[in-house]
Amino acid sequence: MRGFLTGIVSGVLVSGLGLVAAERYLPVIDLKLPAPDAGEVAVPAGSEFNTELPDAPPILPGTEAPVDSAGAPMVATPVPESGNLPDTTPLDAPQAAPLAETGLAAPEEAPTPVIVSGDNVDGLALPGLSQPDAPQIDVAAATPEATLAPETAQAPVTLGAPETAEAPEAAQMPEVVDAPETAMVPETPIAAIDAPPVAVLVVPQGRRLPVPEIEDMAPGVTTDRLPRIGPDVTRPANTLGMALSRNAIAFENAAGSPLISLILVDVGDVRPAPSVLADFPVPLTVALDPTAPDATALMQAYRQAGLEVAILTPLPEGAAPADVEVAFQSFFAALPEAVVIMDLPEAVLQESRPRAAQVVEILADSGHGLVTYDKGLNTVMQIASQASVPAATVFRDIDPGTHDVAAMKRFLDQAAFRAGLDGKVILKAEARPETLTALAEWSLGSRAASVVFAPISALLRP
């Protein structure tokens, strides 16, 4: 620092001495330009370049004189010759040709409309048409018969036909008798009605024409299989949860501790042996793919080891309702001792509301529980609650096949905390040796003492 300050002071002194010497000994350079010489400009003789203009009165603009049209030449308008003039004579109005000249016959007059009332009508004779034999319509055999209007009820009435056609004998109107006053037609002359010819059938109040019952005309087709929302009043109450209760293993929670259920998804070759899971200190649930060729044998092995079994639902995307029903029938046939069905992480059971309603209807009939994922509005959970089908959602997937032991133990800590708040939690993991190692190490810690592991049936049963 001392050398730095000394250098600054020395530089200032040297610079000052240099400026003083330059000002004293160097000559002064004048950088100013000389002022221009404003002399007179030489002008050639006789050019009168610098002569002043003479004074003269100003010339103001004025108006121009009007044009004299009298002297303009006249242009003659050409007149067309008489032969080139257009014909402006109006045309004659068109006249309608008589029907005799056109060869068309005049339309026949429509028959007078007849109003018919009554309960017993065998048929109506329409002009120019022959009526086939048809069964009589017996509206009410035990009720008073109808009658015609007051002015036309003296004799049986038959609708007339034109002279060119004769009505068949079968088309005659039956005899009619007096009817109650409630079926009377207002006393209006038929000729005064300005309407097209119609035949009106009046049915007494309180009566209706019998309609034949429509039967099932498609043999071999099962009907009444649409999904319904809500409990079915025709289904016995003991069918709800039937498979869940029948295939569940024994479990008790005497202390009332929060519950955690871990569902291990079978992944094939890396799965632990059923005997290893049988000796595990906590109860577990194994989810199997029902479409696997060894699904039934694996179910029997896990059941002998004392474990519960869940059914995975590998439904194809966009499956029709008939495909879903057939698929579930095959699922139940392959894994008959399962307690619940388990949705895939993509939540295929909640693809649409009709599919969710159909799945809930199927589970209400089979008695299985439902485990799904928290997706969107959770439509299937809402419908299952209305139908009293046991259902729950997965809280966390602690091992999708890529997590290590330390990460799974952290997820188990979070699950224990959530179980303390909600009372129960469902976890999902793949059935790998790493998952069992993490679960065994975590169960020895202090956080595990606050919860109890339970099979999935214990969390779904009331």
Is the per-residue pLDDT at 3 higher than 90?
Answer: no
Is the per-residue pLDDT at 26 higher than 70?
Answer: no
How confident is the model at residue 221, as a pLDDT? 42
Beta-ladder partners of 312:
342
To which residue do tokens 């026949």 refer? Answer: 108
Residue 140 · residue 207 · CB < 8 Å: yes
**Model pLDDT for residues 257-312, shown as the tens digit of each residue:** 999 999 999 988 788 888 888 888 889 999 999 999 999 999 999 999 999 999 99
Is the per-residue pLDDT at 41 higher than 70?
Answer: no
Mean pLDDT value of segment 431-442: 92
For residue 331, count CB atoms less than 10 angstroms from its CB and return exposed for 0-12, middle for 13-18, buried for 19 or more: buried
Residue 308 · residue 250 · CB < 8 Å: no
DSSP per-residue string spanning 154-190: SS-------TTS---GGGPPPP-----GGGPPP---G
- Distance in angstroms (rounded) separating the CA atoms of residues 429 and 413: 15
Look at 209-218, 283-292, 365-374 and tell me which has the smallest mean pLDDT. 209-218
- Distance in angstroms (rounded) separating the CA atoms of residues 340 and 389: 11
Does 27 or 389 have the greater pLDDT score? 389
pLDDT band at residue 102 using 50, 70 and 90 as cut-offs: low
Is the per-residue pLDDT at 213 higher than 60?
Answer: no
Q: Longest C-alpha distance within the chain, in Å?
A: 158
pLDDT band at residue 10 using 50, 70 and 90 as cut-offs: confident
Angle (nearest 5°) at CA 350 between 345 and 354: 160
How confident is the model at residue 18, as a pLDDT? 84
Domains of the chain, CATH where assigned: 237-460 (3.20.20.370)
pLDDT band at residue 222 using 50, 70 and 90 as cut-offs: very low
Containing 353, the helix (H) or strand (E) segment is helix 353-366
How confident is the model at residue 1, as a pLDDT? 81
Mean pLDDT value of segment 91-97: 67
Mean pLDDT value of segment 49-54: 66
How confident is the model at residue 43, as a pLDDT? 65
